[in-house]
Structure 1
Amino acid sequence: MQPETGGRPATSRRLILATRNDGKIRELHAILDAAGLDVELVGADAYPEIPDVKETGVTFAENALLKAHALAQATGHPAVADDSGLCVDVLGGAPGILSARWSGKHGDDQANLDLLLAQLADIADEHRAAHFACAAALALPDGTERVVEGTLEGTLRHTPTGTGGFGYDPILQPLGEDRTCAELTPDEKNAISHRGKAFRALVPVVRELLG
């Protein structure tokens, strides 16, 4: 991928990822790079004048599309956005899109985790199936859009284990694993994560729409 030169795009094939999280940018950068796609990837910090978009959708896909379209329209460049969360079978798919604010305050990982564990305290192991879900959207300034999805299936532990990751990672144990997501190395997690799967599914979409 080509870097920016003198504060201006080095190529017209600029792709904006709707995030200020450097880890997400590096992850998508590596995936596109490995696929041989010559795209200049930048995060939302490249456009500090554009405010964050409120996630008012009722599905992960709707929220991802809201953010992607807003950035594409505001910048005139293709934009990618994602939305993700934890879906618990016995709760009918909740917390779902409310995962980041399940306890009432957005981004309080510990409070969200504590509340969910309390709600599931009496649920037996065989009924603790859950999965992480991610929708990733690519939008063009002309309104063209595509959405892809990725999931990570697992079960929920009764107590948090591990210090890596964030959010609900300490309680989700992926199927086939004896460790939680918070006990996996970053590379191990990226290889199986819901977001990693969704980002990899974007590769043919980027190739189709950006050439």
Structure 2
Amino acid sequence: MSTPRPLERGSRLVLASHNKGKLAEFAALLAPYGVTVVSAGELNLPEPDETATTFEGNARIKAEAAATATGLPALADDSGLCVSALGGAPGIYSARWAGPDKDFAGAMHRIELGIGEDEREAWFICVLCLAFPDGAVQCFEGRINGTIAPEPRGAEGHGYDPIFVPEGETRTFAEMSDSEKNAISHRARAFEAFQKTCLA
């Protein structure tokens, strides 16, 4: 980890993702700071193998690969759902549990089968990593605690949102509007930490 370094107004930043929805989200978040965002997908960058055993490690792999390939600062995130009764799984393998067909209904059913009625403690983690071409890297973590709902509820959101009830709520993430979820989510908390350190 290096000394905190701000992104200068007018900077061009690579988002180390091929996800168009994520690009739109981060472009909107960074626009007020004069930072222009371009995605790894738009630049036809290959997706590196995520071989680390932590969220920070995988976010760092993606950010460093994009910064090295483009000569620009790069931002990457890695996130997932962790269930206490499953030893923290699916964790960094959250996307892989859904398989190549992105079968999150199947993945959520697998979680429900693996836990007891009184074993519902869970949390979402997001780690954002900002990497510079000279090798400097800064990482920021956001976490939100909650529980696993007895069954999926809601049609909003994506991934595991239908079974995650954040602490202090009775609704799942999938029963909330985007603005409600984004105000409290793990990604929002990671971005808040990034914002305080890296955005003027």
Give the drift of 1:137.
0.2
TM-score (norm 1): 0.85
CA distance in 2, matches of 1:23, 1:101: 19
Question: Which whole-Å deviations, capped at 9, do the CAs of 1:76-131 have from their partners, x for residues lacking one?
Answer: 000000000001111221111011112655732122111111112xx123x31100
Q: Report the counterpart of residue 117 of structure 2 in structure 1.
A: 124
Unaligned runs of 5+ in 2: 1-8
Tell me if 1:170 matches 2:162.
Answer: yes
Contact 2:10 2:34 in 1 (8 A): no
Amino acid at match of 1:124: E
| In structure 1, C-alpha distance between the alignment counterparts of 2:10 and 2:29, rounded to whole Å | 20
Letter in 1 for 2:43: Y
Residue type of the alignment partner of 2:89 = A
Give the aligned residue type for 1:41. Answer: V
1:84 aligns to 2:79 (yes or no): yes
Does the 8 Å contact 1:137/1:147 carry over to 2? yes
Large movers: runs of 4+ above 4 Å: 103-106
Contact 1:84–1:135 under 8 Å retained in 2: yes
Pick one of 158, 169, 172 that aligns with 2:150: 158
Q: 39-48 or 82-91, which moves further after superposition?
A: 39-48
1:16 counterpart = 2:14: yes
Aligned to 2:42: 46
Alpha-carbon distance between aligned partners in 1 of 2:134 and 2:196, rounded to the nearest angstrom: 19
TM-score, normalised via structure 2 length: 0.89
SS of equivalent to 1:170: helix
| Counterpart position of 1:148 | 140
CA displacement at 1:132 relative to structure 2 = 0.6
Is the aligned partner of 1:189 residue 2:181? yes
Shift in alpha-carbon separation, 1:137–1:160, aligned structure 2, 3 A:
same
Please, what is the CA RMSD of the aligned residues? 1.8
**Which residue type is aligned with residue 45 of structure 1?**
G
Residues 1:63 and 2:58 are matched in the alignment:
yes
Matched, 1:202 2:194: yes
Paired residues of 2:122 and 2:147 also in contact (CA < 8 A): yes
CA distance, structure 1, for counterparts of residue 21 and residue 189 of structure 2: 15
Distance 1:17 1:31 in 2: 12
Structure with bigger gyration radius: 1
Deviations 1:158-199 (A, max 9, x none): 110011111111111111111101100011111111112112
Unaligned runs of 5+ in 1: 1-10
2:76 and 2:130 in contact (8 A); partners too: yes
- Determine which structure has greater relative contact order: mean sequence separation of CA pairs < 8 Å that are 6+ residues apart, divided by chain length: 2
**CA distance in 2: counterparts of 1:130 and 1:163, whole angstroms:** 20
Identity among equivalent positions (%) equals: 47
Instruction: Tell me if the contact between 1:86 and 1:99 (Cα under 8 Å) persists in the aligned partners.
Output: yes
Q: Are the counterparts in 1 of residues 73 and 132 from structure 2 also a CA contact under 8 Å?
A: yes
